[in-house]
Amino acid sequence: MTGAACALYASRAGLDVIVVDRGPVAGGTTGAGEGNLLVSDKEPGPELDLALLSNRLWGELAQEFGEAIEYEAKGGVVVATSPGSLTALEHFADGQRAAGVVAETVAGDALYALEPHLAPGLPGAVHYPQDSQVMPALAAAHLVRTSGARLLTGRAVTEVLRTTDGTVRGVRTHSGDIHTPAVVNAAGTWGGELATLAGTSLPVLPRRGFVLVTETLPRMVHHKVYAADYVADVASDSAALQTSPVVEGTAAGPILIGASRERVGFDRSVPLPALRALAAGATRLFPFLSDVRAIRSYAGFRPYMPDHLPAIGPDPRVPGLFHACGHEGAGIGLATGTGHLIAQVLTAKTPGLDLAPFRPDRFPEETP
Amino acid sequence: MTDRPHLAVIGAGPAGLAATVAAAAHGVRVTLLDSAAAAGGQFYRQPAAELRARRPQALHHDWGTWERLRGGLDTHVKAGSVRHLTDHHVWFVERRADRFTVHALLGPEQEDPVAVHADAVLLATGGYEKVLPFPGWTLPGVLTAGGAQAMLKGALAVSGRTAVVAGTGPLLLPVATGLAAAGVEIAALVESADPKAFVRRSRALAAQPGKLAEGAGYAAQLLRRRVRTFTRHTVVEAHGTERLEAVTVAALDGAGRVRPGTGRRIPCDTLAVGHGMLPHTDLAETLGCRLDGMNVQVDGEQRTDVPGVWAAGETTGIGGSALALAEGHIAGRSAAARLAGHAPDPREWAAAAKSRNRLREFAAALDSVYAPPAHWTEQITDDTVVCRCEEVTGSAIREAVTELGAGDVRTVKLLTRAGMGWCQGRMCAPAVAGLAGCRLAPSRRPFARPVPLGVLAHEHTHPTERGSS
């Protein structure tokens, strides 16, 4: 998704773009994503600024692409499960409002007017109308197609070509070299490997997540609904399983239940406990789901960075190399802003946001 | 009793039954789980008891083998060494440190959960029918060939009066004779394979005199009933408004393309169509078993590469009931020995191993002979529904491939929803692979069947266990 957005904005900035992927379009984490365009889960700071920029750009793309990318400005509802957590949630929302987020506290009947099937007796929630949704695989495919970029799928990059002074001059693939003066690393969870190929380092780690998908239902859940402890999970450094359900209905009918988080490397086996925890969380929020059947689940590997911020911008260690990866679970949402900023730095414009917090070389060199 | 090692066998078709009887006869306590109300699987599907069938064997060949298996099962159930759990729909097999938990839903509602703990698991989950789409295939009156046979065996009747049996594969002949015996007029038997291919593979095929005799028997019955048989022909369209009224059948050229101008319309109210079988591998995949193409990979003892997991029958490769019996027997013997803590002596099952080798060669020869027409995707029109669950048409899939860069089943699914619905692509994946121009590859399905979230949310610890196994 991030690569597709970079391709779109770079080509609109007048650049000639080639998209190279070792798999198909949306074959990595994009194809396993829910398509969350969230501001609600971000605390004030550089990531929220990027999310607000991205949110605005997604709104523009929605005008252009219409239903093809299944954009839906459905809004988010963050539920407090105890009076104490409602207080914490309201305090959190105050900070977000100051940063430009629209957040409305809802309680009692107002909450159940938003989501009639929520469990009874919940103290309250915060409604975030800016939270939106796209279908990530469709969005990636349509952005690439509209960009006019040359799309080379099934081509793995085996080497980043550099001149004797270390400047990037293209990439080598198993079926030929591609010469370009700039290379954008949008390899997501595998962005660390690409950085290594370019002779530098980027600490991108996989963080596994599962999403449960139910049978098709009439619309019973209208927003992205999740419990307040989600916010704590995102900022957590714990490697233990932490599950907080994001429950949402989709235009196509199924309900998606997502956001388990584990740092277990690239393990694709199916652990029943993680799926049980998702189901338990979802049925606590929406008791009617107990009788609804899960028909599948899918796993993805979020690109996780030690400080939970992506790497965006030029790599001062390798001239000509730009990074656009490490967005953890927010990559779909942050893709537009990232692509826009990358296009600005590629064309030597001043980026619309300060890129200092996203500097790729902000981490100490790894000592192998 | 409960200190004896415990094997869970999933599937009570030929492979599962043979494995159960073999393992129980060698000192293992077996729990046999199956979704049907009676043992037999698809092959030995039994008519419902209330129908009081006088001669159920008329619809089955090799009835003696079935009676021996059923007798063996009954004996072990009475002796307490086998527990047979009917109406148990297994949705997940969980591997823990040193044991397995089989999670099932009780049928027919499939709402109440059951968990069975076992020291080892034997997967005999069988196969399912492959059907390739064509215009009109969703009309009422169009059945799968296997579905028609299941109706005959289970209900002793089908609704239609005039049937066309079409597609490719060894199932078409018995389906046609079975329908004819049930009083249905067979308007045509349409097989896309080329009879010359049988001649080319005659050596491998002739190595199985029993199998050839079986085929010849069906062919003789059809001849006696004067059934029109078209080889190197295919159904290009099913016609009808409310339900099926006729089919158009056309000849194929040497390259597997429909020959223009050869179409003929055959009135019928039933079309039984099938294009071979695919193995059920969902449970094996969630356990992490290695697959070989579409099949669960096993060694000479029918062991998968996951310790404690055996597999036998169609799930390890489509090969028919005789092969399933041989594999099940070997798997059951191997599991019994390994669970008792010693390596088995393969000489004890030498006869089964010999017939397994011959039958695998035979299956490979059949597989090379029976094939859908090479250019069958040309028959899918833009408005032909390919994925029935999500109602995705041929044009939507073609657009994903040509316009959006999808070249594999997963990407087509992501871009069109084909295969995302209730059946999880079991039905449409071969067709989507054909349209995308890629090989059919196994798709991961974490749940072997849909499971209520309320069941998933709770760890159930009150299984139908006897003792504290």
Q: Are A77 and A38 in contact (CB under 8 A)?
A: no
Query: What's A153's domain CATH number?
Result: 3.50.50.60
> Chain A within 8 Å of B97 (Cβ-Cβ)?
no
**What pLDDT score was predicted for residue A239?**
39
Whether residue B329 contacts residue B18, with contact meaning beta carbons closer than 8 Å, is answered with yes
Residue B467 reports pLDDT greater than 50 = no
Interface of B with A in 102-121 (CB under 8 A): 103
Interface contact A27-B411, CB threshold 8 A: yes
- Within an 8 Å CB–CB cutoff, is residue A217 touching chain B? no
Nearest CA in chain A to B447: A296
Inter-chain touch A297–B424, beta carbons under 8 Å: no
Task: Give the end of a domain, one of A273, A289, A304.
Answer: A304
Whether residue B78 is predicted with pLDDT greater than 80 in this model: the reply is yes
**A138 at interface of B, judged by CB pairs closer than 8 A:** yes
pLDDT score of B225: 72
Least confident of A161-175, A285-299, A354-368, B277-291: A354-368
The verdict on a CB contact (< 8 Å) between B422 and A291 is no
Judged by a CB distance cut-off of 8 A, whether residue A344 touches chain B is: no
A106 and A244 assigned to the same domain: yes
Are A118 and A252 part of one and the same domain? Answer: yes
Q: Is the pLDDT of residue A241 over 50?
A: no
User: Do A297 and A311 fall into the same domain?
Assistant: no
Q: Is residue A365 part of a domain?
A: no
> Closest Cα of chain B to A3: distance in Å?
15
Considering only A83-97, A184-198, B231-245, B267-281, which range has the smallest mean pLDDT? Answer: A83-97
**Alpha-carbon span A354 to A356, nearest angstrom:** 6
Mutant choice from A215, A284, A296, A297 vs B, greatest count of B C-beta within 10 A: A296
Contact between B407 and A153 using a beta-carbon 8 Å cutoff: yes
The overall average pLDDT reported for chain A is 89
DSSP annotation of A199 reads: T
Name the E strands within B87-168. 88-95, 100-106, 112-118, 120-123, 127-129, 142-144, 162-167
A291 in the same domain as A150: no
The answer to whether residue A235 scores a pLDDT higher than 60 is no
Chain B interface, best mutation among A145, A208, A269, A293, by max B CB count within 10 A:
A293
Binned at pLDDT 50, 70 and 90, residue A368 comes out as very low
pLDDT digits (tens, 9 = 90+) for A117-134: 999 999 999 999 999 999
Residue A228 lies in a domain: yes
User: Does B405 sit within 8 Å of A296, measured CB to CB?
Assistant: no
- The three-class DSSP label of residue B462 is coil
Q: Do residues A185 and A258 both lie within one domain?
A: no
Domain extent at residue A100 = 76-129+205-304
CB contact under 8 A, A25 and B408: no
Asked if B254 has any chain A CB less than 8 Å from its own CB, the reply is no
pLDDT, residue B64, reads 80
Q: Does A27 touch chain B (CB under 8 A)?
A: yes
Residues A90 and A101 occupy one common structural domain: yes
Task: Indicate if A258 and A354 belong to the same structural domain.
Answer: no
Reading across the β-sheet that carries B29-33, which strands appear in turn?
A: B82-85, B29-33, B6-10, B120-123, B309-311
Query: For B87-136, what is each residue's pLDDT tens digit?
Result: 999 999 999 887 999 999 998 888 889 999 999 999 999 999 999 999 99
| pLDDT of A300 higher than 80 | yes
Q: How many domains does chain A have?
A: 2
Q: Per-residue pLDDT for B234 more than 70?
A: yes
Chain A residues with CB-CB distance to B286 below 8 A: 269-270
Residue at A368 is within a domain: no
Contact B457 A252 (CB under 8 A): no
- Residue B65 contacts A where some CB pair is shorter than 8 Å: no
Helix axes B14-24, B321-339, angle to 10 degrees: 30
> B226 pLDDT exceeds 80?
no
Give residue B121's pLDDT: 98
Q: What's residue A238's pLDDT? A: 46
Domain check: are A353 and A221 in the same one?
Answer: no
User: Can you tell me the distance from the alpha carbon of A100 to that of B105, in angstroms, rounded to the nearest whole number?
Assistant: 50
Indicate whether A209 belongs to any domain.
yes
Nearest chain B CA: its distance from A28 CA (Å): 11
With cut-offs at 50, 70 and 90, classify the pLDDT of residue B202: low
Shortest distance, CA B142 to any CA of chain A (angstroms): 25
Scored b (16 or more CB within 10 A) or e, B437-468 reads ebebebbbbbbbbbbbbbbbbeeeeebebeee
pLDDT digits (tens, 9 = 90+) for B324-374: 999 999 999 999 999 999 999 999 999 999 999 999 998 888 888 888 888
Q: Are B335 and B28 spatial neighbours (Cβ–Cβ below 8 Å)?
A: yes
Six token digits for residue B310? 């055996």
Cross-chain CB nearest to A290 (options B444, B450, B453): B453
Q: How many beta-carbon pairs below 8 A join chains A and B?
A: 110
pLDDT exceeds cutoff 50 at B468: no
pLDDT tens digits, one per residue of A132-165: 999 999 999 999 999 999 999 999 999 999 999 9
**pLDDT tens by residue, A188-234:** 999 999 999 999 999 998 888 888 999 999 999 999 998 876 455 55
Which residue in the set B286, B415, B450 is minimally distant from A138, CB to CB?
B415
The partner residue sitting opposite A279, judged by closest CB among B403, B420, B453, is B453
Residue with tokens 């190595």: B207
**Which of B32, B25, B3 is CA-nearest to residue B336?**
B25
**In a 3-state reduction of DSSP, which class is residue B165?**
strand
Answer whether A236 touches B (CB < 8 Å): no
Same domain? For A145 and A97 the reply is no
Instruction: Give Cα B413 distance to the centre of its chain.
Output: 23
Domains in chain B and their CATH numbers? Answer: 6-128+278-344 (3.50.50.60), 131-272 (3.50.50.60), 380-436 (1.10.10.1100)
User: Which residues have a Cβ under 8 Å from the Cβ of A256 and sit 6 or more positions away?
Assistant: A34, A211, A212, A213, A214, A246, A247, A248, A250
Least CB-CB distance to B452: which of A138, A145, A293? A293
* Cβ contacts of A257 on chain B, cutoff 8 Å: 453
Query: What rounded mean pLDDT belongs to chain B?
Result: 87
User: Is residue B45 pLDDT above 50, yes or no?
Assistant: yes
Report yes or no on A178 lying in a domain.
yes
Q: How far is CA B208 from CA A32, B329, B355, in A?
A: 48, 20, 10
Helices (H), chain A: 2-12, 46-65, 83-98, 109-114, 136-147, 191-197, 229-234, 272-285, 331-346
Instruction: Inform me whether the C-beta atom of residue B446 falls under 8 Å from chain A C-beta atoms.
Output: yes
Answer whether A144 touches B (CB < 8 Å): yes
The answer to whether the beta carbons of residues B152 and B158 sit under 8 Å apart is yes
Residue B267 sits at the chain A interface (C-beta within 8 Å): no
A224 domain residue, yes or no: yes
Closest-CA distance, B449 to chain A, in angstroms, reads 7
Whether residue A285 is predicted with pLDDT greater than 60 in this model: the reply is yes
Question: What ipTM was predicted for this assembly?
Answer: 0.86
B38 versus A171: the higher-pLDDT residue is A171
* Inter-chain residue contact A25 with B445, CB threshold 8 Å: no
Which residues fall within 8 angstroms of residue A9, CB to CB, at 6 or more apart? A336, A339, A340, A342, A343
Do A103 and A234 lie in one domain? The reply is yes
> With an 8 Å Cβ cutoff, is A175 touching chain B?
no
| pLDDT-based confidence at residue B171 (cuts at 50, 70, 90) | confident
- Read off the pLDDT of residues B300-309 as tens digits, 9 standing for 90 and up: 999 999 999 9
Of A304, A322, A343, the last residue of a domain is A304
Q: Is the pLDDT of residue A339 over 90?
A: yes
A61 and A149 assigned to the same domain = yes
Contact residues, chain B, for A215 at CB < 8 Å:
422, 450
Cβ of B405 and A280 within 8 Å? no
Q: Is residue A214 part of a domain?
A: yes
pLDDT at B208 over 70: no
**CB-based contact A27 B410, cutoff 8 Å:** yes
Residue A275 at interface with chain B, using a CB cutoff of 8 Å: yes
Question: Please, which pLDDT band fits residue B52 given cuts at 50, 70 and 90?
Answer: low
A270 touches chain B (CB under 8 A): yes
Q: Is B414 on the interface with A (CB under 8 A)?
A: yes
CB-based contact, B459 to chain A, within 8 Å: yes
Closest residue in B to A34 (Cα) is B414
Domain-embedded: residue A194: yes
A334 & A353 share domain: yes
- Chain A residue with CA closest to B409: the answer is A24
Could you tell me which of A175, A170, A139, A136 has the C-alpha nearest to residue A155?
A175
Q: Judge whether B306 and B93 are in contact, CB under 8 Å.
A: no
Average pLDDT value for residue range B244-252: 96
Choose the final residue of a domain: A304, A319, A338: A304
Query: In this predicted structure, which of B102-116, B127-141, B269-283, B415-429 has the lowest mean pLDDT?
Result: B415-429
DSSP SS3 for A243: strand
Decide if A297 and B454 are in contact by the 8 Å CB cutoff: no
Q: Is B256 exposed, middle or buried (0-12, 13-18, 19+ CB in 10 A)?
A: middle
User: A283 CB near a chain B CB, below 8 Å?
Assistant: yes
Instruction: Give me the CATH number covering residue A90.
Output: 3.30.9.10
